[in-house]
Amino acid sequence: MKKMYGITTAMLTPLDSDGNILEQQLKDYTDFLINHGVHCLYPLGSMGEMNLLTVDQRKKAAEIIIDTAKDRVPVFVHVGATREEDTLLLAHHALEQGADGIGIVTPSYWPFKQNEVIGYFERIAKTLPDDFPIYIYNIPQYTTIDMTTDMMKTLTTRCKNVVGMKYSVGNMARTQEYLKIKTNDFSVIQGGDLLLTLAMTLGCDGVISGYSSAFPEYFVQIWDLYKEGKLEEAKLLQNKITDIVSVLKKEVSTIPKLKTILKLRGMDIGVCHKPFLMPTEEQENQIITHLKHFEVL
């Protein structure tokens, strides 16, 4: 059973101004990430504008990415949706298309009880093969639902295919609790880009990185430096990335900013789905100046 490891890129989704998927750009972008050395791909999650896409769009994007990446890097498709029925459709579609595994975000909006959340995941997992890996995506600051350690222990005991978690909170004490779960050879992947070196030190298997969608080679370099025992160099490079992506933090949302940076780096993948707004011309010029200052343009 394959698992996520190393630098797993949380992919952006190429879109035109009408919200349609740019299919050729998606193929080119998938190649771009693989050619820059990322270890796994994680499309159609938060960075992929998941809840702004239709089920059919998500299916089409998954098909393109899985086909383009075939036999080169593992692809773990995020399939979580607002409706359980849609999550099931997307999960089985990913399996049929040859994905290496899936991620599923917790239910959201309503403050569901623990047994309701566990039941949601269990029903989905039981419809899939025991050897098809499922990662639970825990991002309570967006969903209102927090998968506690005890909830994860219960779920992994009941479902052999629940093998890991993407934890997108910077709570290192909780991360250590998750790392103590031994059922199903449980794997913890950090969802905070800027916690990469710390997460690796604790024993996480890697990071699902949104910023690597625009700077894949730098995150791969951080990973390699850490593996070579060059921790200080890895930290310095991570700090540089932190400074780079801080530009216009209050003025421009992260996904439009990353798509703009990609365009400036020669990989134009279009715009974002509404209600996201792309940077103005003035803001884009500020981004250009900022990137040149850090010598990444």
pLDDT digits (tens, 9 = 90+) for 135-181: 999 999 999 999 999 999 999 999 999 999 999 998 999 999 999 99
Kind and range of the H or E element at 167? Answer: strand 162-167
- Domain count of the chain? 1
CATH of the domain at 160: 3.20.20.70
Question: What angle do the packed helices 149-158 and 114-126 form, to 10 degrees?
Answer: 30
pLDDT tens per residue across span 176-193: 999 999 888 999 999 988
Binding residues for pyruvate: 208
Q: Answer whether residue 254 is part of any domain.
A: no
Tokens of 191: 């969802």
Tokens of 120: 């949601």
Q: Answer whether residue 284 is part of any domain.
A: no
What is the residue-level pLDDT of the chain in tens, covering all 297 positions? 889 999 999 999 999 999 999 999 999 999 999 999 999 999 999 999 999 999 999 999 999 999 999 999 999 999 999 999 999 999 999 999 999 999 999 999 999 999 999 999 999 999 999 999 999 999 999 999 999 999 999 999 999 999 999 999 989 999 999 999 988 899 999 998 888 899 999 999 999 999 999 999 999 999 999 999 999 999 999 999 989 988 888 899 999 999 999 999 999 999 999 999 999 999 999 999 999 999 998
Q: Answer whether residue 279 is part of any domain.
A: no
Catalytic residue, chosen from 3, 166, 257, 259, is: 166
Name the residue among 86, 84, 123 with its Cα closest to residue 107: 84
Catalytic residue, chosen from 42, 137, 167, 226, is: 137
Q: Answer whether residue 214 is part of any domain.
A: yes
How many angstroms separate the Cα of 278 from the Cα of each of 16, 95, 269? 12, 34, 12
Residue span of the structural domain in which 93 resides: 6-230
Task: Characterize 71-99 residue by residue with b for buried, 16 or more Cβ atoms within 10 angstroms of its Cβ, and e for exposed.
Answer: eebbbbbbbbbeeeeebbbbbbbbbebeb
Instruction: Give catalytic status of residue 166 as yes or no.
Output: yes
Instruction: Give catalytic status of residue 167 as yes or no.
Output: no
Q: Answer whether residue 264 is part of any domain.
A: no
